[in-house]
Structure formats: C-alpha cells, structure tokens
Structure 1
Amino acid sequence: MIKKITILIAILLFTIGNVNAQEKLVVKANEKYKSYSFSPAIDIYTKVIEKGFVSADLLDKLANSYYYNADYKQAAEIYQRLVSEYESDVTAEQYFRYAQTLRTLGDYELSNSILKKFYDISSTGENASLSKDKVASFEDIKENTDKFKISKFQYNTIHNEFAPSFYNEGLLFSSDRDTGNLAKNRHTWNSRDFLDLYKVNADSTSLNKVVKLDKNINTRYHESTSAVTRDGSTMYFTRNNYKEGKKVEDSEGVVRLKIFRADFIDGMWTNITELPFNSDNYSVAHPALSRDEKTLYFASDMPGTYGLSDIYRTTINDDDTFSTPENLGGNINTDSRETFPYVSDEGVLYFSSDGHLGLGGLDVFATKIANNTLTGSIVNVGAPVNSNMDDFTFIFDSENRNGYFASNRKEGVGEDDIYAVVENEPLVLDCIQEITGTVRDKISNEILVGASIKVIDENNEEISSTIMSSNGVYNITLDCNKGNFVRAVVEGYVPSEKYLAKSNGEPQVVDFYLERDKVTAGMGDDLAKLLQLSTIYFDLNKFDIRPDAEIEIQKVIVAMEKFSSLKIKVNSHTDSRGKDAYNLWLSQKRAEATVNYMVSKGIDATRLQGEGFGETRLVNKCENGVPCTIKEHQLNRRSEFIIIE
C-alpha cells in the first residue's frame, strides 16, 4: 500500500513538475513573441504543443508567429486547428488573418468562406462598417489588375534587398548582403543578418557597382528605410535604438526602431540626430517626405495606435522642429499592420497593409491626399505589384511614371527582392474637392436664395446637385481627378457655369453672377425697384453724387448696357425743409447731376431724361411744419429711374 502511494506521489510530482516546466516555456515564448522574436517563439510554442499542452491563446500566438515570419503554409495549418478546436473562442481578427493567409496560399474558395465568418462576427460589433467595407472591396481589387508592368532589379542578390528610395539619379536601398556580423548580432525577427544602406545609379551603365554608405550611417545594427530631400542635403532613415555603441532595450527586452536625420556636408553624412518623437518604449520607422518636404510620414506602434503598427505624420517646421505626430486615422489604419508609407508628387499615399483586404500577406495600397485629408477610398494596386506573398516599400516617380517596390514572392533571387515597375494605366483614386460660393443677380448683386447648383461632367451628364441655403451660400463636392463644370441655374435667369480642371483637391470658392433672361417691366416702372437697388440719396442742400449712390447708379448703367432699347427718366426729389422754389431748383440739379454722371460713363444722352419735383412727392408724413428725424427727412432726398421706353 505504501509502495502504491509512493508511486502515485511520484507520478503527481512529475506531472506538476512537467506542468510547471511547460508554463515556464510558455512564459519564455510569450516574452519572445512580445519582443517580435518570432523564430525563437515558434520553436518554444511548438515544443509545448507537442507535449500536449494546447490552448486557443497558444495556437493563436503560434499561428501569428508563422504569419509574421511569412511562413503562410504553417500559419494556415495552425489557424485551421484554432478554428476547428476552439471555434467558440475565435475572434473576428483571427478569422480575417486566417482568410488572408489562405489567399496567400491561393485557396480563394476557402478564404471567402472564412471571410464570411469574419463579417458575420464583426458586423454586430464596433467595427461593423469597416468590416463591410473590407468585404465590399474584394471585387474591386480585380479592377486594378495589370495597371503596372514589373521587372526584376538587376542588383538583387541571394540576400535581402528592399526599401528602395529615390536618391539623386539613382536609388538607396537596404540589404543584409555584407554586414559582417556574427550570429549574436542577427536580427531576431527573421534570424537574418542586420541591414545596411547601399546606393546605386539605377539608370546608368556607367556605375555598375553597389556602394555601401559610409560608417557614419551604417553601424553594426539595423539601418533600413530612408527618405532623402530633392537637393540631396538631408536624409531621414531608420536605425535600431542604440547609444554609445550598445543596443538599448525596452522593459520587455525589445530593441526598438528609431528615425534619424543626417546632413550631407563635404561628401560625408554628418550631424546625425534622432527625431524628438522617438522613444525607447515604442518603434518609429520608415520615413517618407511629402512633395513640399514639409511633412514627414512614418510608421509606429506608439500609444494610440489602432493595430500592430499605424501610419503617422508630423509637420517639419521652418526651424527644423517637429509638430506632435498625428495618427492618420481609421480610414488608413486597421487593427493589423500599416507600414512603409510613400507620398508621390501627385499627392498619392502608397503604403503596405495586411489589415485591408488583399491578395495575401502585405499588399500595396494607395489613396489620394486631398487638401491634406485622407478620407477617400483605399485602393489595392492589384497584381502584378501585389501577389500572394508580402509586397511592400512601393515608391513611384509621378513624372516618369515608374518606380520600385520589394517582395518576398517565390520567383525572387533572394528572400526579399526589389522589382522595377512601369505604369501601364493610372489607378483610379478618389479625390474629393469642396466647392462653395454664392449666386447673385449680376445687376443688383442680390443673393438668389434657392438657386440650383449642379456638377456636370465632361460628357454633359449631371453628377450631383444642391440648392443654395437660406444663408446665401452653397456647398457641393466633386471628383477632382477629372474636369467638371459647376453650373448655377435660377428660373428667370440665364444659367452660368465654370469649368474646373482636375486638381489636388484644394477647396475653391466659385461665385456666380446671373443675368436675367428678360426684364419684365413696363412704362412708368421704377427700374431701381425692379433691380432691387438701394435708393439713390443726396446730402442736405447738395446735388453731388455720393460714393454710395455711385455704386447703385453703376448697376443701372449695366442694365442699360445690357438692354440697348431701354430709356430712363431720372426723377429727383428733396425733403420739405427750405423754400418750395429752392427745393424745386435743387431737385432739378440732382436730376441733372445723375443724368450727367451716367452720360460720363458712356450712356447715350438721348436715352436719358431728368426732372426735379422738389418736395411735391414726399414718401412719408414729413411735410412743412411736421417734426421729423434726420433719417426720415433723408428718405425724401432721392432719385428714381422711371422706364419711359
């Protein structure tokens, strides 16, 4: 009996010890996983599972480790096991990543069915609209097939080459071809040598040698993605976090990435400084410059990031300081990876992502930056740029319509290779431009509330329309990728329109001044009232034309120029103060002054008459002896424009 108890205790202690040992292995693997050391994590997770210790979390981390190490076959097998053994625990994110992995392997039918499960789960959650957009955009990928022609980069080797960037007449790129580092210095993400920056004249046979940048740039750690100003004087590049020759780890043992800036002086890169928003606790990497070189785009997993990495931007001030980094928002960034931004001279943001629906792995996407905003649709650039593997670091020369990108597709020479790209046909990208303005009567300047504003395309088809609001301003948007006509229409007026060529989406003000299609007036009508002019007033005891009256008379002149048969009689008046005879004389002088002014502006004198009526036609009660205010008397010192023919 004692022997049996001893055996049971021994078995129990062995089991407990074994469990504790596996728990320690899992803890160690999780540490590797958190530090992005996926290769060691895979080894540990696999051993633990082989010993029979399995959980949904363990399978998820193992599948993700394979996924981020681009071993999609193994990732799919583990995701499939996760889905079949722990179906009730599977999240929308895991379904989406499983579907993406299947697409990488070319199993589109199963991918679509898994994608449907992803949508079924997420459509009731917080990301419902985003999920629907992902599913809806699936067929749109086909529309961009063959927009580009690709060819292999002649300087690829059996090593890694990626991250091309334009530099003078050639390229900079990153490679691990010649680091000379020992195994202890290898990059734990993929167990490859650390990376350095190289330059080459990609378009000339006179330079057929790849040159490594000087030691001020390249260190014994990582140097990769770069962006150089047009004049070649300043470079931003990615480097591992290290100080005084030693790597710096965060609290979880991760060596983070940082962006550095360097100046090119006397043939050497110098003044190397890290950017102020770098951190020892998160990564900042993959710089890209806007066309005016006043905005720096980059990728980071800093606090506030939607997923594993997001794209941010910061303003480069005139004194070389930087604004607080701005996350580009949920239209660009997802709960997965968005990285490797590039901005073309046309204001198109290219980036890589495995969070937007693609052909598998990281795909290259594009969206238009319109008026510094990124609210347009996200377009997958399609095959052959995108494949069922990882496709990334896309750059594009808008003038020459060519560029480069990197991919780990199977037909490459090494693991990551650079490919040259030439555009066959432009991508179709959203470009939303806001147009505002007013619609007024050309003569009276009256705001025509209720005017209809239409956007007409170059085929004379109406795209959209709006009605001018009661505050006198209209607001409408149009597609600034192409030319459009903006047309104003009001009943009783001749329509007017303005052509707007394709643009970068900057808001524009377009005001319209419409002409009446006919003047509905008869003998004896006051043209000033028909045109809704302000009354022509005069100062006390004066008959000269005041500046405010001059503006209104100009409107009458425009009407007479428009309608050549129109004849006018100017009736002028005074208030009741002063003697009757004097007032009759003063009003006559006012009529003559008005007529003479119009004749001086080009109106034929035969079309004009003038008569003064003194105080005989008062518009209010202010007769002789009746007390009135100054304003009330002013109303009677006026000229009218009576139609006589």
Structure 2
Amino acid sequence: MKKLILIYLLSTATLFAQESQKKRADKYFKIASFAKAAEAYSNLLEEGNTTVEVLKKAADSYYYISDFEKASSLYKTLLEKHKESVDEQYLFRYAQTLKAQGNFEASEKWMQLYEKEVPETLYKANVEKLENIKKQGNKFDIKNEAINTPNSDFGPAFYKNLLVFSSPSTSHGLFSRKYNWNKQHYLDLFAASITNNKLDSIKNPFSKELNSKLHEANVTFTNDGNRIYFTRNTSDEGKRTKDDNKVTHLSIFSADLKDGKWTNITSLPFNGVDFSTMHPALNKENNRLYFSSDRPGTIGSFDLFYVTIDANGNFGEPVNLGSDINTKNREQFPFISSENKLFFASDGHPGFGLLDVFMSEIKEDSYTKPLNLGLPINTNLDDFSFIYQEETKSGFFASNRADGKGDDDIYSFLQTAPLEDFQYYIQGIVVDEETNLPIDEATVFLFDEKENRINEVTVNDSGKFYFELPPGTYKISVYHPDIIPAEKTFTVLDNGTTKNEQNISVKRIPKTFLEELIAEEGDPKVITDNGVLMFDLPEILFDFDKFNIRADARVHLDQLVDKLNRYPLINIAIGSHTDNRGTDEYNRQLSQDRATATMNYLVEKGIDASRITAKGYGESQPKVDCIHKECSDEEHQINRRSEFVIIVKQD
C-alpha cells in the first residue's frame, strides 16, 4: 500500500511539474519570447508530452529563432502524426525549413501540397521559371562588409555619405538589455561612411536622441535629409505599449533634424497597438510612404501598404498594394528607387529560399509582376532589406546566408547585368487548311480572358503575326472576307519561356456557309426579304419606364458580342418595345431610347456601328395582349424588351 501511495504521489508530482512547465512555455510563447519558449517546450517533449499543441509551438519557436534543423524535425513529426488536423501553414513552414537546409526536392513536394489551389501547370511553370533565372547567371558581385557582428546587422539606408543600419546595442556593454525573442541585445541605429560604394569598417551610433532602450531599425529619409522615419517598438513617451496578450508590436516614428539634433519624435497616426507597422520607405517625390504591416484586412501575414503625404505633411489612409504584390504569406522591407522600382522581400512569391528579394516597376497605381533577382542576391535562407542606387547600379542588402559572420549580415553589391524581366510574346502563322499556304491580308485579333479586344494586326503575304503580352489566358481570332472566322484559346505561362507558338489554320468560305452557320447557331426563323436570311436571338428586358441596360441583360448582350466578333459577315437588327402603359408617342420615344441604349452597349464593346440598325416600335408589337385583358406586372415585363435579328447577306 505504501508503495502504491508513493507511486501515486510521484506521478502526481510529475504531472504537476509538467503542467507548470507547460504554463511557463505557453507564457513565453504568448509574449513572443521564442528562445525561452523553444527551450521550455523541448523539455516537455523530452518528458513525453507530444500533444499537437506542444509539437506546433515547439516547432514554431525554433522556426521563429531560425533554428531550422530543429524546427524541421519537429514539423516532420507533427505532420506524420497529425497532418489532417493541422493548419496548412504548417505545410508551408515545413517546406521552408527543408529549403533552408538545402533539401529542395523534399521542400518542393510539401510546397506543392501547400499550394494545392494552384493548377499543376502553373506550379510547374513557377519552378521552371526559377530554373531559367538560374541559367541567366549571376547579375551581381557581392561582398560581406567589415562592420558586421556575430549578431543581427541589417536594414541599410542611404543618408548623405553615410550608410545607416541596425545592429545590437553596445551602449551598456555586457549589461545591455537582451530581447527575449532571440536573446540578442536590443537594436540601435548605427552609421558608417560610404566612399565609392565601399563601406568604412568603423561604425558609430547614428543618434543618441533616436537610440533608446527599445528597438530602432529600418529607416528612410526625406530628400533634404531633415526628416527621418524609423521603426521602433510601439511605445508612448519611451514606455512600451502592449496589446491584450502583453505583446509589444512595432510602429513607425518620425523625427526632425534641428540644429544638428533629431527632435520632435512622433508616432505616426496609422500605427496601432494590436498590430505592427514597420519598414518605412519614401518614394522619390517624398509624397508616398511605403511600409509593411500585419494590420487587419491584409491578404497575408504581412502586406505592403502606402500612405500619401500632402504638402502640409498630413497622412492619408493606408492603401494595400494589392494581390499583384502581396501574397498569403510575408511581404516586407520595401525600397523605392529613383526610377520608381519597388524592391521588397517576400516568402510568398516563388523563390530560392525563405525571404527572397523581388523587383516590381510602379506604373501609376499598378505594379508589374514581381521579378526574382536571382543568384547570388537570393539564397536558400533569408535575403532582405535591399537598397539600390540607379546611377551607380550598386547598393546594399542583408542576409543570414551560411558564409556570413553572424546572424544577419550586411552585404554590398555591384550590378553586372541588366535587371530585365522576361518579355513574353506569341507568334504564329495563318494558313489555308487545304493548301497549307499563308493567308494574305487576314486580320488577327487578340482578346483577353474577359473577351476584351486588346490588340490586332493585319498579316502580310507571310501570314505571320506577333503579339507581346504578359502571362495569362488569351484568345486569337482571325478574320478575312474569304475565310470562315477561326479562333484559338491558349495560356501563356510565367515560366521564363518567352515564346509561345500559336499557328492557326482557316477554311475558305464555301457556298454552304449559310447552312453551316445556321447549323451551328440553331434552327432559324427564316424570313426571305430581298435575299436576306434572318433568325432570332434571345431578347433582353427593361424595367418600367426605363431604358438603362440591366445586369441580366448584359449577359445576353455579351453573348451577342461574341457572335458578332466570330462572324464578321453578319449584321444585327435591334427591335425594341414597351408595354401599353403611357401614350403612343411617349412609348415610341421610350422604345427608341431602349433600342439606342442596346446599340450603344454593343458599340462600346467594339462592334462597328455600321453593322447595327436600331428601331423602336413602341407598344405596337406586344408579346402578351394587354389591351383586351388586364395584365399582371410579370406580363407587362415580357413586353418591355429588345429583340435581335441576325442578318446574313447572301452573295
């Protein structure tokens, strides 16, 4: 009995110790003290606690402190035991840890599971594009800088003849405070002189007014050098501010240079206590401030945003850069060059490692498809905070690659080859199906996936055509007075294969053209009138006393546009009608307005007005007789319509 009591007491004590250890681990994890959390969860695992929660948090803790070997092992165990019950984000993180260790084949397998909503052809195209980027060779010479320490050095920014960057604080020597996330000292701003893109080996604190007991990192300056925007822990008068989980996030602050000192340190109005706002970057005109944030409403974990800055220094509302730039994962560390190129880091776009550096050209309020800068800027690990001078084709970035001096290091680079994206295009030949000879003077139209005509070309006697276009799905249609219109739908993949071949064969118009057309379009209502063949199309309806084109009507009209594009030998007659409420004269005008509105819609969609006639018949041709009986609203609706007759002229 005494033995049983002793065993019970020991078991209870062990259970109590584990519960206490888990509470401590969860507390560390909750406040983002991941170095301590990783150690605490490891102890729990060693003691046999392998629940889903402990495995997830242990793996995540190691992931966040970049111990990818341990994180990978834990993610593997988690997915082997609980793959069906964990969030898909764990597929992504496991794939990233495998990539970080150079196991690209296994990483690709898990990434494809994570990207299951991406069609296999597009996924393979992304992989193929990275291989083609590799084949282009290195476009940069890079150098690890002497200012780097064994800890994290990153976030370079140009300021006059200086490079300002972030590095662990040394202001208090061995007694400097350490950050619980990774047990490194808090970050301060430092500076080193730049001469001909060469960095002085001596670094000095940038500003005693800006450096504090909190983190300072990632800065940008106005053109005159008198204002700085920088990232700091969210705080009020030097005292950190915490959210409901007792986590302190990051915010952007500004300061002004007066009499050689940085003053008026101010938190920007679009910061928040419950999310991070960080990594500021000004455009050349200094009227837009770009940044990264995980605020509510983001597409992914961190998105890129901008705010406008007016002449009085007031800030607009944050604007998300949209899905061309932002993904369901991280986009961070923006930089805007003098030629309006956006450089940023992402682990959401197809890349070689964890964070890769990408470039996109800003064109008004749109952004070109991001271009991966390739090797050696990007590696299997984190590459980020890229800054670039167009005049010298040089700059700096940070990386935690394997051959560095410490955690994150700053590298200088010199660009040695153009940063050119792939110029995708299609080419082909229009040939006679019977003779296989080119068709002269045929017009080739290019449509996008929404059936919008975006380009056209008339071929010469070679029959060849050529269009430059971004990746996507398209349709080409070929027209000529002597051929039956032909079309072909195709997809241009973003895989680095710039050329897409789309030859198209066409048939000469036989005497049986009308019969073939009728067979395709359905049995017509035939009316012979001066050699003209007619047949009906679906009608569209109108609201009472109105002639605007309704949403349901647009569907039918878009189908009609498609028919007219495919058959240039046919014209269209529009007949519009009203119900019998109102005077004859009023209804005649209303019906004509409906006919004109219908025709205008077709013309706006690219149909030549010479192919259309439009006439209003008032209430004279009802489908439902409402004169000799009282009609319901539904019956009156049937009479308020536009009808279509296709007219094919016979030779």
Q: Same fold (TM over 0.5)?
A: yes
Counterpart CA distance in 1 for 2:375 and 2:199 is 33
Is the counterpart of residue 407 in structure 1 residue 392 in structure 2?
no
Is this contact kept in 2: 1:159–1:177, CA < 8 A?
Answer: no
Counterpart CA distance in 1 for 2:26 and 2:176 is 21
For residue 286 of structure 1, the aligned residue among 276, 279, 283 is 279
Partner in structure 2 of residue 465 of structure 1: 455
Is the counterpart of residue 384 in structure 1 residue 380 in structure 2?
no
Counterpart of 1:102, as a letter, is L
Query: Is the partner of 1:396 in helix, strand or coil?
Result: strand
Counterpart CA distance in 2 for 1:91 and 1:132 is 24
Deviation track 1:550-585 (CA, whole Å, cap 9, x = no partner) reads xxxxxxxxxxxxxxxxxxxxxxxxxxxxxxxxxxxx
For residue 257 of structure 2, the aligned residue among 249, 264, 272 is 264
For residue 31 of structure 2, the aligned residue among 30, 35, 55 is 35
Is this contact kept in 2: 1:174–1:224, CA < 8 A?
Answer: yes
Is this contact kept in 2: 1:241–1:257, CA < 8 A?
Answer: yes
Give unmatched runs, 5+ long, in structure 1. 433-449, 456-462, 469-475, 481-488, 492-645
Counterpart CA distance in 1 for 2:330 and 2:22 is 25
Is this contact kept in 1: 2:226–2:257, CA < 8 A?
Answer: yes
Counterpart CA distance in 2 for 1:38 and 1:105 is 21
Quick one: structure 1 residues 360 and 20, their matched pair in 2 at CA, closer, same or farther if it must change by over 3 Å?
A: farther
Quick one: structure 1 residues 76 and 146, their matched pair in 2 at CA, closer, same or farther if it must change by over 3 Å?
A: same
Task: Percent identity, please.
Answer: 37
Is this contact kept in 2: 1:315–1:322, CA < 8 A?
Answer: yes
Counterpart of 1:153, as a letter, is E
Is this contact kept in 2: 1:168–1:230, CA < 8 A?
Answer: no
**Structure-to-structure mapping, 1:316-395, within 5 angstroms:** 316-374=309-367, 376-395=368-387
The TM-score normalised by the length of structure 1 is: 0.62
- Runs (4 or more) in structure 1 with deviation over 6 Å come to 128-133, 204-208, 450-455, 476-480
Counterpart CA distance in 1 for 2:206 and 2:65 is 28
Deviation track 1:83-107 (CA, whole Å, cap 9, x = no partner) reads 2222333543222222222121111
For residue 68 of structure 1, the aligned residue among 61, 64, 67 is 64
Query: Is the partner of 1:154 in helix, strand or coil?
Result: coil
Counterpart CA distance in 2 for 1:30 and 1:430 is 48
Is this contact kept in 2: 1:181–1:194, CA < 8 A?
Answer: no
Query: Is the partner of 2:76 in helix, strand or coil?
Result: helix
Deviation track 1:6-28 (CA, whole Å, cap 9, x = no partner) reads 76676556546644553453344
Is this contact kept in 2: 1:45–1:58, CA < 8 A?
Answer: yes
Q: Could you tell me how far 1:222 is from its partner in structure 2?
A: 0.9
- Cα root mean square deviation, aligned: 3.4
Partner in structure 2 of residue 103 of structure 1: 99
Q: Could you tell me how far 1:142 is from its partner in structure 2?
A: 2.1
Q: Could you tell me how far 1:226 is from its partner in structure 2?
A: 0.2
Is the counterpart of residue 116 in structure 1 residue 112 in structure 2?
yes
Query: Is the partner of 1:292 in helix, strand or coil?
Result: coil
Counterpart CA distance in 1 for 2:36 and 2:122 is 34
**Structure-to-structure mapping, 1:24-173, within 5 angstroms:** 24-119=20-115, 121-123=116-118, 137-143=129-135, 145-173=137-165
Q: Could you tell me how far 1:136 is from its partner in structure 2?
A: 6.1
Q: Could you tell me how far 1:431 is from its partner in structure 2?
A: 9.4
Counterpart CA distance in 2 for 1:106 and 1:407 is 16
Q: Could you tell me how far 1:140 is from its partner in structure 2?
A: 4.7
Counterpart CA distance in 2 for 1:116 and 1:269 is 49
**Structure-to-structure mapping, 1:384-533, within 5 angstroms:** 384-429=376-421, 465-466=455-456
Is the counterpart of residue 255 in structure 1 residue 248 in structure 2?
yes
Counterpart of 2:416, as a letter, is N
Counterpart of 1:264, as a letter, is L
The TM-score normalised by the length of structure 2 is: 0.62
Does 45-54 or 60-69 show the bigger shift?
Answer: 60-69
Counterpart CA distance in 2 for 1:403 and 1:397 is 6
Partner in structure 2 of residue 220 of structure 1: 213
Is this contact kept in 2: 1:149–1:424, CA < 8 A?
Answer: yes
Q: Could you tell me how far 1:387 is from its partner in structure 2?
A: 1.5
Is this contact kept in 1: 2:328–2:348, CA < 8 A?
Answer: yes
Query: Is the partner of 2:281 in helix, strand or coil?
Result: strand
Quick one: structure 1 residues 243 and 177, their matched pair in 2 at CA, closer, same or farther if it must change by over 3 Å?
A: closer
Deviation track 1:171-192 (CA, whole Å, cap 9, x = no partner) reads 1111115232666831122110
Counterpart of 2:403, as a letter, is E
Query: Is the partner of 2:53 in helix, strand or coil?
Result: helix
Q: Could you tell me how far 1:251 is from its partner in structure 2?
A: 1.5
Deviation track 1:222-245 (CA, whole Å, cap 9, x = no partner) reads 111100112211110111123333
Counterpart CA distance in 2 for 1:130 and 1:300 is 28
Is the counterpart of residue 313 in structure 1 residue 309 in structure 2?
no
